[in-house]
Amino acid sequence: MKKINKILEKSRYQIYLRDWYYNSGIIGFLRVIADGEDNLDYIQKKYKNKLIIDENYLEFDKNILKDFFEKFRKNLFVDYFKFDEYKDRVQRLLNKIDNNDNKNYKDLIKETNLSGKVVNNFFKIIYGKEIDKIANKKNFINELKNLLKKLSKFNNINDVYNKIKNKKFIDYFLDLEIGKNVCSWKKVDEYVKEITNKKIIPIFSKNKTCFICNFYQKRYEFNNSITQILGFNKDNSNWVWGFYSQKIMICPLCALIYSCAPLGLCHLTRRIYDDSKSFFYSLNYNLNIKNLFNNFLLFKNSINKIENQKKPFHVLVFEIVFKLIKEKSEKFIDNINFIEIEENAFKGQSTKNYNVYNFNITRELAEFLNQFKKIPTGFYVIDNSKNKRTYFDISEELLKKSINMTLNYSDINNYFYLYIKEKGKYYINNILNYILLFINYVKNFKKGGKSMDEIKEEIEKITKKGFVNGKELGIKIGQENKIKSLTYQLLNDLKISNKNSFLDKYLRISMAYGTEIKLGSNNELIDLDNFMSFGYAFVNGLLSTINLNKEEEVKKR
């Protein structure tokens, strides 16, 4: 009771770490009141006793919310408006015009994503003219060069905001990017006014208490207005929750924190097949606000680099996990939760839907990944249509499946099939060794017993034997079509773990060509994992001879 009276007397509020989205909101809340400052110690010093950042909660005086909505609006625009991309697009358009004899400007504008209302509205504010309107003019190239000069005068996105902050374009852009995709951002002003005017108080009636904090009086339905990522529409809340939407209500303080989540998430636009989709990434790390905040900034700064845009899992492991291992962080044992929020193909007319995936990086998994600082690299290609092809990054795919603990023998099959069809550009041997070690490590970890070095040594012994055996046979067969036919048959057996069928083919072909029988000397007929390791290594050895045979044919000619 004393604690509650103290909070009421001083108009102070407390918020605690909760679910991952709420925690993202806490990060966003801190970023707003910090207004561009990344150092939490400095922020605390700035607000003195008006802000307390404890290990798992924040306590703040309502007076720090002065100008909060304007800071919130500014930070949203700075985060989500990709100003540098606009400059790059104009430069790419100029390059395309220089390298294109058929100067169909409108087609080139579409190719460089410089068409549309947002682009035209922005350029009209900055340059005084819409790009679509100057596309038909004879001096279009000079106009573009002048536009680029105008854009280059801004040092950063903050300069852009300060220039146009009083323009309707800011709200127009945020309505499209945030209002239709994430939450009703304008309602933050309402939440702040309620909080600062002392309209929220602790309450002890269960029927009137906030669904999230169970402390303050509920006032708002937990629907798409507060968050489209976790909230629900009034019409379907009964179907989802099992009871009426009026009971799923939260207080203005929790509504404010959830609304700040877009500033505690990393936003990317990635091309998936033929569509561009929005992705959000959240890093939920242990029960310490400062660690949560600092690791979010580390991830955000890394993922914003152009070369990392398509590799969020790569950044997670190499920039975050390895850093924590190197620092030997005592809190690392609490694990890292990494959340990927993917825009769903099922879209409404005014809002978006999302699929949310939660990945947990345990200390053991992190230590395993640390053994492979050089994750197998490369890519493979899937033909989606006549004119478009999609590239899949190997290291990103392997990391994602490792973190999700779904990497298995079927993945080895898929990489072999792509490799044989020459749709993949990678070293199959590196991928094979990585996946085999991962599978055996995971199973051994559950059982307990062997060390990583012991597992590695055992696998290397089996795979080396299988590879040499397969290579010896492949050289004797000497014909690419026969080798590929045999590998397809063996891969089909391995795909369903059919030892008998694999062994039958292996024995017959070995005796036919007079090669040594090596399967079975390391318990491959008893231990399924040993059998699979030998089998895939044997296939790898067979395939390795195809290029050798081609080289021999060239020499004979």
Around 179, how many Cα atoms within 13 Å sit in the side-chain half-sphere? 12
- pLDDT above 70: percentage of residues in the chain: 85
Report the pLDDT value the prediction gives residue 546, as an integer from 0 to 100. Answer: 85
Question: How many whole angstroms separate alpha carbon 189 and alpha carbon 197?
Answer: 12
For the chain, the straight-line distance linking the first and the last C-alpha, in angstroms and rounded, comes to 94
Residue 27 and residue 77: Cα distance in Å, rounded?
A: 17
Q: What is the per-residue pLDDT for 322?
A: 78
Comparison of pLDDT for 172 and 243, the residue scoring more: 172
Question: Position of tokens 């999609």?
Answer: 390
Q: Scan for tokens 């290609």, then name that residue.
A: 381
The answer to whether the beta carbons of residues 92 and 148 sit under 8 Å apart is: no
| Among 341, 329, 229, residue whose Cα is nearest residue 286 | 329
For 355, list phi and psi in degrees, rounded to 5. -100, 130
At 547 the pLDDT is 67
Half-sphere exposure of 358 (CA within 13 A, CB side): 10
Count other C-beta atoms under 10 Å from residue 133's C-beta.
12
pLDDT reading at 556 higher than 50: no
Q: Residue 275: what pLDDT? A: 63
Mean pLDDT of the 120-131 span: 90
Mean pLDDT of 114-119: 86
Q: Which of 252, 335, 357 is nearest to 288 (CA)?
A: 335
Estimate to the nearest angstrom the gap between the alpha carbon of 316 and the chain centroid: 8
Closest CA to 128 of 153, 104, 150, 99: 150
pLDDT score of 271 = 67
Q: Which position has the token pair 């009636």?
A: 205
pLDDT at 351: 55
Cβ(469)–Cβ(490) under 8 Å?
Answer: no
Average pLDDT over residues 375-394: 79
Q: Phi and psi at residue 282, in whole multiples of 5°?
A: -125, 140
Two tokens, residue 417 = 């099939």
Strand order in the sheet with 389-393: 389-393, 378-383, 424-426
Return mean pLDDT, the chain.
84
- Which pLDDT score, from 0 to 100, does residue 320 have? 80
Packing angle, helices 252-259 and 187-196, rounded to 10: 140
- Give the three-class secondary structure for 282: strand
Q: What angle do CA 548, 437, 414 make, to 5 degrees?
A: 60
Range ranked top by mean pLDDT from 38-47, 137-146, 378-387: 38-47
Helix 480-495 and helix 528-556: axis angle, to 10°?
170
Residues 6+ apart with CB under 8 A from 455: 437, 440, 441, 444
The confidence score (pLDDT) of residue 260 equals 96
Name the burial class of residue 555, with classes exposed (0-12), middle (13-18) and buried (19+) by CB atoms within 10 angstroms of its CB: exposed
The CA distance from 191 to 370, in Å, is 45
Question: What is the value of pTM for the model shown?
Answer: 0.82
The Cα–Cα gap between 281 and 267 comes to: 7
Q: What is the pLDDT of residue 131?
A: 85
Question: Is residue 322 within a helix (H) or strand (E), and if so which, with residue range?
Answer: helix 322-327
DSSP 186: T
List the single range of 9-23, 127-141, 440-454, 493-507 with lowest mean pLDDT: 440-454
Pull the structure tokens for residue 34. Answer: 């910090």
Classify residue 92 as exposed, middle or buried by CB count within 10 Å of its CB (0-12, 13-18, 19+): middle
- Tell me how far apart the alpha carbons of residues 130 and 100 are, in angstroms, rounded to a whole number: 23
491-502: average pLDDT = 94
Contact 486, 542 (CB under 8 A): yes
Cβ-contact 543, 483 below 8 angstroms: yes
Whether the pLDDT of residue 325 is over 90: the answer is: no
Q: What is the pLDDT of residues 283-307, one digit of tens each?
A: 887 678 988 898 899 889 888 887 7
Do the beta carbons of residue 227 and residue 258 sit within 8 Å? yes
DSSP 3-state of 57: strand
Segment holding 477, helix H or strand E: helix 452-477
- Cβ atoms of residues 115 and 132 within 8 Å: yes
pLDDT tens-place string over residues 446-478? 656 677 788 888 899 999 999 999 999 999 998
**Euclidean distance between CA atoms 126 and 134, whole angstroms:** 14
Q: Which two tokens stand for residue 473?
A: 């046979």
Separate counts of helices (H) and strands (E) for the chain:
25, 12
Question: Per-residue pLDDT averaged across 372-385, rounded?
Answer: 80
Is residue 378 a contact partner of residue 296, using CB atoms and an 8 Å limit? Answer: no
Q: How far apart are CA 481 and CA 490, in angstroms?
A: 14
